[in-house]
Each structure stands twice: as structure tokens, then as C-alpha cells.
Chain A
Amino acid sequence: MYAKLRLYIVVILLLGFGIGLTLYKHFALGFPLSPDDKKSVWTIEARIDFVARGDPVIVSFALPPETPDVVFMEEDFASSDYGFSELTSPSGRRAQWSKRVASGLQTAYYRLSMYETGQIAHPAMAADLPSEPEKPEFDEVLKTAATTLLDQVRSKSANTEIFTRELITTLNSKAPSQNLSLLINDQSSEDYKTHLIINLLALEGISARIVRGLYLEDGRRRQSLTNFVEVYIGNEWLLFNQNSGKSGKPKKFLVWQRGDQSLLDVVGGKNSQISFSIIRNVHSTRDLVVRDSMNKQAGIIDFSIYSLPIEQQNAFKMILLLPIGALIVVIMRLLIGLRTSGTFMPILIALALIQTTLLTGIIIFLTVVGTGLLIRSYLSRLNLLFVARISAVIIVVIAIMASISILSNKLGLDQAMTVTFFPMIILAWTIERMSVLWEEDGPREVFIQGGGSLLTAVIAYLFMTNRTIEYLTFNFPELMLVNLSLILILGQYTGYRLSELYRFHALERRNVAGKR
């Protein structure tokens, strides 16, 4: 009883640890559970042009903030002969290019590769609290118009969110009232509109700020930033589209700058211009996550197979598949009751099949073993000592393999040359064991055990070459613990094997007939 309890505790611990680690990697680090998971990587290039006047030049450019919902893979800054520094201030990061003397047309580039993680952005942090909105100064006429408008909107709304939305839709209405026309006036630019909304909200005592961002669309050039209004409602900032009044951050949208600071400052230059171009690339999510985690030095990734050189990683790709093969063998022997020649010989054959592909592999295996058995039956007449005989069989196997390779090469069958992937010693042992089996128990037993081994090997092969299984075993090695616990549980199975249901089927008939 005690031993069983202990086993179950171990199994539960292993299961919990294996599955827990897998879920952690999936949810916290973003490892996808499927090998086909892809992500868009956006490469954004900001190009700054200005004409320098021959004086010292300082260009200051706002950089996008790194939030939890985006991962910045790479940032590049380029400009000829400019000194460069990146400054961090409470209001955000800024890039600063500087030069003692410059004249004529100047260009600076900033390039960013990033992808969205799909995680929901966390609510604004404590440091991001709004200051008390300053009462804007309107002249009398405008103030009256504003108050009227606000009264009108207020009467139609129940809370701040609805109020904001209502205000924006009213401002954007196709047929503006007189009051509205006065406020909006004709030369209304996007910036003017944004500030108008913020000012109107301030008049109402609501904190708001300007947010500039970029819509991510593939192949776009000469894009500019889009203005949004962010309103502080109930302890968090909420983004509003200033043209439609829709709230929330749109998809495929990168927030570039928050607050009223300038996007670009050029000292010692004029006619400054900024334009963005965007290109999309598709990458496997897993590659992106591994790279990101390695950069962040996440302990769980830093001390994992990914930290090994590529060659060793490839070796482990194979090695980590072995437990799957072992599980198949356990199932085949304990649950199905298939007899195999040699307990784990089928796994080694399956490994060879992975290299040779299924059909070629089976044909080669049968050819080598069949020829080997023929030659072995001759060797048994030579009256050899056992160790010498098995060594002779090894040499025979190598000779057969070499002939298969050469012959197939001459015939132009490239596939058959993969014969070298079969483990020679194992083949030699298989031949030796089969031949003894043949002599003692007859060909029937040879076919049963040989067929059993091959069937197990093929099933193990099918599982081990499954893309998803291959992907999961390599990227989630902790699933090996789940596998281990399965094997531990199977080790406790005392029920009938499938083959025994056949073996004892005669008994059932008797007992049915014998019951009076």
C-alpha cells in the first residue's frame, strides 16, 4: 500500500512539474504549442530629412516605448558622421544625433524590428498618473461655444467614457452646428483637433493626453503618425480614436509617443520632415521567442538545450525522441504483448528508419537480415566459437551494407545508400539471435519475433517523425517527465495483455459451455 502511494506521489509530482513547466513556457514566455505557429515581424523605418544651415546641429527624435504587448527585436540608428546617443527620460526615450557643423540636405534613419506578443497590455503603472488638467484659455466667444457643446454632450452621456465618445462623435459630425463650426474652424489639422478635444475635456475636468502611433500595414511607405486621445478613466488610460470615437487600442498599431512633447526637434536645421515605411516579415513564433528569451536571459531558457551549439542541439533533437520510442516499446510489450527480438532493438531500427525513410529502410533491413541469415547458416556449419562467429557476422553485415551501397549507386538509387545509418552491431546481433531462434524454435517463431520487432519499429518511427511530437519533445524537454510518469504508471499495469486475450480465448469457450 505504502509503496503504491509513494509511486503515485512521484507520478503526480513528475506530471505536475512537467506540465507546469510546459504551461509556464507557453503562457509566460510565449512558446507556441504547435510548430506551425507564425508571427508577423514588422520592420519600421523612420526617415528624418532636414536642411542644415551650417551651424551646430542637434536632432532629437522620440522613440517608441517598449510595452509588454510588443517585443523589440532590433533597433538601428544610422546617419553619416553624426554623434549619436539614446536618452531616457520620464517622458520616454529619445534618440539624439548631433554634429558640430553641417550644411545642406541631411538624413537620419531609425529602424526598428518588432512583433506583437498578443498579450494584453497592462494597465498604466503608478508613475503614469495624470496631473490635474489645466484649465485651457479660450476667448469669450469660443468659451461660450465650448460650454454649450459640453452641456449638450453631458446631457447625453452617463459616464466619462460615454462622454468622451459622444464628444468625439459630435465633433466629427458631418453637419456641424454653428457652435461647432466655430470651434473646429476651417484650417483644422489633426493636431488642432486633438488639442481641441483635450482642451474641451480639460474644461470638463477630465485628464487626457495626446498619443501618436503608427498603423502597421505591409509595404507602406511615406506614412505618418496618427493621433489618438488617451483619457484617464477609472484609474487607467483609455485610448480613443479621435475620428470615430472608438475606444481601445486598435490591432496592428504601435504606440510611438505619449504626451505633448514634440516628436522631432531639429536645432540648426529647417524644413525637417519625417516619414515612416513599414515592411512585414513572417517568422516562426518559436524562433522569435527563443531569441527574445535568450536576450532577456530568462533562466529557464539560458540553462536549456538552446544554449548549446547548434550541432549538439541537433544531436539532442534525436536523443529527445528516444523516450517516445521507449514509451511505444513499453506499450507494445505490456499492453499489446507483442514479442520483439531484443527489448530496445526496435527503437534503434526506428532511429535508422528516420534517416533512411520508411519504405527504403524496411527493404534495406529485410535485405540485410535475410542475406545475413543465409550466410549465418553457412557459418554455423563451419564449427566456430561463439564470439568469433558473432564477429564474423558483423563483418558479413558490413560487407552486405557496402555491396548494397555500391550496387544502388551504380543503379542510380540514391536512397539505398542510406544503408549506413543502420547500426551494424545491432543488425549482427539480430541476425545471430534470429538464426539461433530458427534452429531451435523454427521459422514460425522467427517471423513472429522479427515481425513484432519491425512492427514496433514502424510504429515508433511514425510517432518519432510526427512533426508536432518532434517539435514538442525538443522545445519542451520537460514533457519527458510526463512520459516518465506514464511509463511508471504502465509499470504498474497488472491486467491482461491484448495477446493474452487471444492466448486464453479457448478457455472462455470452455467456461461458457461448462457452466451448467
Chain B
Amino acid sequence: MLLASAKKLRSFGIIGMNQRNFGLISRYNPRHLYPLVDDKLKTKLLAQEAGITVPKLLGTVQYQHDVKSLKEILHPYSQFVIKPVKGSGGKGILVITEHDHNLYFKPSGDAMQLADIERHVSNILSGLHSLGGKPDTVMIESLIQLDPVFSDYSYEGIPDIRIIVLRGYPIMSMLRLTTHASDGKANLHQGAVGVGIDIGTGRALHAVQYGESVTHHPDTRKTFSELTVPHWDKLLQLAAACYEMTGLGYLGADLVLDRDQGPMIIELNARPGLAIQVANRTGLAPRVAVIEAIKTIDPDPQSRAAFSKRQFAFDADIRPPRLLRTRSDDR
């Protein structure tokens, strides 16, 4: 069958785009809070205030004429990442892993001139990658060092962990692994592998690439069955803390594991996508229903993370009934 039956999908609790926009995003995310996460500089400052580790900010470029000073900003660093502050979906991110005189090298080994980088920066400033083409700011961050745990599971890039947080409770997570096809980017629609991660243990559950199941990484040929994300409790707690940080009721926290600094937050998303359901082979709706049934939200991120760990563990005895209605249904 090329098409699934809507009835079955509903019984599995799969949430569709329309329901996500209507029942989750517009319900839990007040519009005025969007700038907090759409502007990555603001997110970074918020996270630092909240004592959450973030990649180090090396510099920013705000105006076209500052592009000339790029050389001096970049001079001391051999590795860095250039990002549009208001970019979305990983657009416009440039990773440089090696710096040799006037040549800058991408993870793939391609060399770039300073002029190429300047053009990229100037494109970002004119709003090429920002939502609605608005003028943007460029930020330059320190490069995250690949944690050896993932060295077998990623190709020319840093994998990140996406955790969906509803009302402060982590409800689903996946690991996004870079591949050759995705050009070192952790974007599923570009060909990265999405691995569903058990909220209870941090173990890999199931992996997909281009929407189809895969059992091992297409480039490194390593199977996912032995993959377990380390520092799992810490990651869950960080994600849960993003609720207090931003006030957004439904958000996607993108975290990474740095070899030296451990778990850190790189980005928050007020409109996280739905591919996570495919990677986990589970619908969001039953979990949403569990969280929506909670009357008062626990003010402590750690106990919220612990609650989610118990509630949503893959092999836990307490499993939410599949047909639990979500609150958005009875509106």
C-alpha cells in the first residue's frame, strides 16, 4: 500500500501537520514568544542566564560593511561554524573544520577562499536564509567536537539530539545522524538518518532514512542496535529546562554532545516537525494526552524529566492506551 489509511494512523496516535499547527503550536506557543527561539542569539543569552551550556560565541556580524572585518574575527580560530541568527531548518549553516592560511576547509574537504566566506556572510545579512527574507545577523560559534560515542555513526558532521518537550515534559526524542547524502547536515529531508531514542534509557529504537527503515548507518555500515546515547538524564533535564527558559509549551530542543563540554543546547524550535514519529515508529498523540492530563506542572525540570523517563520508557509496564484522546480533539 502506498497510502496508509487515515483511520489506522489515528489509532496509532500519529499527529498530522494540521493537527500540530492547530492543537499544539497555536495552543501552547504564544506568538510573542517566538522571537526568543527564532533569534538564536537571544536563545543563547537566555540559555546562558539559565546556566545551560551552549557553544561559545566567537563573534557576530551585523552590517554589510563589517564583512571586511571577518578576516580578523576568524583569524584566531582554526575551526568555527557560521550561522544565520534567524535561519530555519539548518539553512545557511557553514562549518569550517580547518583553516590554512587563506584557505578554509569544509568537513567534506572542499576548500573555500575568504571571499567565498564573505559572500556567504553577506548573503545571510541580506536575509537569504531568514524567514520572510528579513535582514539578518551572522553569528560565529565554536565548533562542537564529535563525541567518540558517535564517531561510528556519523559522517562529516555532528549528530544532534532532538527532544520534543510538551509543557516542560520531554515526550519523544530522536538522534539525527549526518550522512554523505545529507552533506554533513543533520536534516532528515536532506538525507540524514533519524534514530528514535527511548526516553527511558537513551537506547536506539529504530532508524529511518528518507522515511524508510534502515538498520545500519549508510556510510559507516555500523548497526544501530548497540547505540546508546550517554549522559541521557542530563540531556532530558536540559530539554525540560527549556520550558522555563522560553515559556513555550510545545518546543523541539536540539542538543549535542561535545567531547569536552558534554551536553549542550544548540537551538530551540517553536515549530518542530513530525518526522520524529516516523523515527520512533510511534505517534505523539497518546503521549500528548498523558501530559495534557497532568493538572499542575511540576516546577522542577529534573523531576519532570524523571516523570517522562518512567512514563514513556519503551519497556515500561505502564503504557498509555493507544486510543487516549488528546485535548485538541474535544475542542
Interface residues of A (CB under 8 A from B): 1, 3-4, 334, 337, 383, 385-387, 436, 440-442, 445, 492-498, 500-511, 514
Which one of B12-20, B69-77, B235-243, B248-256 is at the A interface?
Answer: B12-20
Contacts of A440 in B (CB 8 A): 91-92
For A500, give the chain B residue with the smallest CB separation: B16
Contact B281 A507 (CB under 8 A): yes
Contact A492 B22 (CB under 8 A): yes
Q: Which of B14, B17, B123 is in CB contact (< 8 Å) with A386?
A: B123
Q: Which of B8, B14, B19, B189 is in CB contact (< 8 Å) with A494?
A: B19
In order of increasing CB-CB distance, the 10 nearest A-B pairs are A386-B126, A508-B4, A494-B19, A496-B16, A505-B4, A501-B3, A494-B22, A500-B16, A383-B119, A501-B4
A501 in contact with B9 given A386-B126, A441-B190, A507-B4 (CB within 8 Å):
yes
Contacts of B12 in A (CB 8 A): 507-508, 511
Q: Which of A4, A334, A502 is in CB contact (< 8 Å) with B18?
A: A334
Contact B91 A504 (CB under 8 A): no
Contact B5 A506 (CB under 8 A): no
Contact A508 B5 (CB under 8 A): yes
For B128, give the chain A residue with the smallest CB separation: A386
Is the C-beta of B212 less than 8 angstroms from some C-beta in chain A? Answer: yes
Is the C-beta of B328 less than 8 angstroms from some C-beta in chain A? Answer: yes
A-B contact list, 25 entries, CB within 8 Å? A4-B331, A383-B119, A385-B64, A385-B126, A386-B122, A386-B123, A386-B126, A386-B127, A386-B128, A436-B128, A495-B18, A496-B16, A497-B16, A500-B9, A500-B16, A504-B4, A505-B3, A506-B208, A507-B4, A507-B14, A508-B1, A508-B9, A508-B12, A510-B281, A511-B8
Contacts of A492 in B (CB 8 A): 22
**Beta-carbon contacts under 8 Å, B119-167 to A:** 119, 122-123, 125-128
Bound-state CA distance A385–B211 (Å) is 37
What's the least CB distance linking B120 to chain A, in Å?
A: 10
Contact B126 A383 (CB under 8 A): no
Contacts of B96 in A (CB 8 A): none
Contact B16 A385 (CB under 8 A): no
For B115, give the chain A residue with the smallest CB separation: A383
Contacts of A386 in B (CB 8 A): 122-123, 125-128
Contacts of A506 in B (CB 8 A): 208, 211-213, 278
Contacts of B23 in A (CB 8 A): 494
Task: Determine chain A's interface SS by DSSP, over half rule.
Answer: helix
Contact B126 A387 (CB under 8 A): yes
Contacts of A337 in B (CB 8 A): 17
Bound-state CA distance A3–B331 (Å) is 9
Is the C-beta of B277 less than 8 angstroms from some C-beta in chain A? Answer: yes
Contact A501 B19 (CB under 8 A): no
Is the C-beta of B318 less than 8 angstroms from some C-beta in chain A? Answer: no
Bound-state CA distance A494–B25 (Å) is 12
Contact A500 B17 (CB under 8 A): yes
B39-80 to A contact mask, C-beta < 8 Å, 1/0: 000000000000000000000000010000000000000000
Contacts of A442 in B (CB 8 A): 190
Q: Which of B9, B64, B278 is in CB contact (< 8 Å) with A496?
A: B9
Contacts of A383 in B (CB 8 A): 115, 119
B271-284 to A contact mask, C-beta < 8 Å, 1/0: 00010011001010
Contacts of A387 in B (CB 8 A): 126
For B91, give the chain A residue with the smallest CB separation: A440
Contact B91 A502 (CB under 8 A): no
A497 in contact with B127 given A4-B331, A506-B213, A507-B9 (CB within 8 Å):
no
For B326, give the chain A residue with the smallest CB separation: A494
For B190, give the chain A residue with the smallest CB separation: A441
Contact B281 A495 (CB under 8 A): no
What's the least CB distance linking A332 to chain B, in Å?
A: 13
Contact B123 A494 (CB under 8 A): no
Bound-state CA distance A386–B91 (Å) is 16
Bound-state CA distance A493–B16 (Å) is 11
For B213, give the chain A residue with the smallest CB separation: A506
Contacts of B91 in A (CB 8 A): 440
For B181, give the chain A residue with the smallest CB separation: A442
Bound-state CA distance A224–B250 (Å) is 86
Bound-state CA distance A507–B22 (Å) is 23
Bound-state CA distance A274–B89 (Å) is 88
B184-202 to A contact mask, C-beta < 8 Å, 1/0: 0000011000000000000
For A498, give the chain B residue with the smallest CB separation: B3
Contact A504 B9 (CB under 8 A): yes
Extra inter-chain contacts (6) besides given A507-B277, A509-B1, A511-B8, CB under 8 Å: A494-B16, A494-B23, A500-B14, A505-B3, A507-B281, A508-B9
